[in-house]
Amino acid sequence: MGSGIDSLIYQLARRLGQRNEVEVFTFCTDYEDVSGFTVHEEKIPFKRNRVVRQLFAPLFISTWNHLRNELRDYDVVISQIYPANLAVVVPSHLKGPLNVVVEWSTPLQPYARIPERLYVGLVKRLNGLACRKADRVLVASGFVKSLVLKEWKVQAERMYLDGVDFGLFDRSKASAERVYAAYPGMRDKPVLLYVGQIAPHKNLVMLLEAFSSVRKTVTDAMLVIVGSRTYANYYEQLVKLVQQKGLQDAVVFTGVVPWEALPDYYAACDVYVTCSLWEGFLRGEAYALARPMVAFDVTSHSDSIIDGETGVLVREIDAQAFAGPVSDLLKNRSERERLGENGYRWARQHLDLDMIAARLDGYLKQLLNEAESKAG
């Protein structure tokens, strides 16, 4: 829970399961009840330990062999993240299923601690191995498509994959009142919202610096940060910065919010903001509630934000440069509404998860038909 990629797997599996037999294989699940597909949890020691689960899972040989044996009977194996993306190719290519890897890219910067840098460096190398050995590689953005070609000489196929569940993110049903009940201080205030992991590459230090500048011109503005505290030391650094800036009453850390409650948080905000320096794809849930987005013009952000039409892309990576357009939007309701409505229409056309799942379903069936034809 709380991971963007994992929630996407859940959403796609539920939809693909309406027309296919779908099973999700994982080393650890927080979901107690799913519908439309089944979940197979491979048993490994210390599964709740994130380091063990995300780094050492392939070293449990009996578990790895069992996983590979289970996968042999499937027509297609779609893997998204390390270590699962190695299951079909290590120690040798698994004969039988079509191997489709979804690559999101792995940031190396700005991790400062040596263990973190070693970990993301290793994962990046192993993701490259998985992509080079895959039958097909799918990416959600032009940025990652170029990156995969440049670094690993792999020609990936671009396809919108990370979409919006408009059944859940329904602007006619979402209610800011439910958020105000939990956080009364937000009522009648200009609100900025960030949703995502609390991790170094999300650049939340700069977001807090920018928000401190915003408060100089929009003195009653609030910032709500929703997401899992993935890196505890980084979260503590952010809390100390909030205290140093005197923003204790203006910044809210909610932790992980239940998926079904997220639309209410978007309904309660005026502008969605992220200072992230690295995204494989910037999610578009804010558009479902007709909220504009502001981000730096880096990595894949231009795949989600049409500058001046659905939001603002800030070209200079600087807190003051970011604060300027955010303050302008908070003070200009008509411009916020124009950008938000444009974003809503664009997301309806490109990011509807029902449409994305149907397209993926057709794509996979076409690949299987081509493979059967070649095999006679």
Domains in the chain (CATH in brackets) are 4-163+353-375 (3.40.50.2000), 176-350 (3.40.50.2000)
> Quick one: which of 303, 268, 343 has its CA closest to 162?
303
Q: Is the pLDDT of residue 264 over 90?
A: yes
Q: Compute the mean pLDDT over every residue in the chain, rounded to the nearest whole number.
A: 93
- Looking at residue 109, what is its pLDDT? 62
- Looking at residue 139, what is its pLDDT? 97
Confidence of residue 108 (pLDDT cuts 50, 70, 90): low
Q: Is the pLDDT of residue 73 over 70?
A: yes
Confidence of residue 231 (pLDDT cuts 50, 70, 90): confident
Q: Is the pLDDT of residue 162 over 90?
A: yes
Peptide bond into 91 cis (omega under 30): yes
What separation in angstroms does the CA of 94 have from each of 26, 42, 75, 367?
18, 18, 12, 17
For the record, the structure tokens of 173 come out as 């049903």
What separation in angstroms does the CA of 314 have from each of 105, 184, 295, 297, 298?
22, 32, 6, 5, 9
Q: Going by C-beta distance under 8 Å and a sequence separation of 6 or more, which residues neighbour residue 367? A: 76, 98, 100, 135, 136
Give me the mean pLDDT over the 219-233 stretch.
93
Q: Is the pLDDT of residue 3 over 80?
A: no
Confidence of residue 340 (pLDDT cuts 50, 70, 90): very high
Question: What is the 8-class DSSP label of residue 93?
Answer: P
Q: Is the pLDDT of residue 286 over 80?
A: yes
For the record, the structure tokens of 204 come out as 């939340």
Q: What percentage of the chain has pLDDT greater than the value 90? A: 75
For the record, the structure tokens of 329 come out as 């939007």
Higher pLDDT, 333 or 371: 333
Q: Collect contacts of 182-185 with beta carbons under 8 A, ≥24 apart.
A: 183/224, 183/252, 185/222, 185/249
Higher pLDDT, 153 or 3: 153
Q: Is the pLDDT of residue 150 over 70?
A: yes
Q: What percentage of the chain has pLDDT greater than the value 70? A: 98
Q: Is the pLDDT of residue 111 over 70?
A: no
- Looking at residue 2, what is its pLDDT? 66
Cα torsion through 158, 166, 2, 8, rounded to 10: -30
Give me the mean pLDDT over the 357-374 stretch.
94
> Quick one: which of 24, 281, 2, 259 has its CA closest to 160?
281
- Looking at residue 335, what is its pLDDT? 98
Q: How many CB atoms lie within 10 A of CB 38?
A: 12
Give me the mean pLDDT over the 67-83 stretch.
93
- Looking at residue 116, what is its pLDDT? 74
Reported as a single tens digit per residue, the pLDDT across 121-144 is 888 999 999 999 999 999 999 999
- Looking at residue 58, what is its pLDDT? 79
Confidence of residue 63 (pLDDT cuts 50, 70, 90): confident
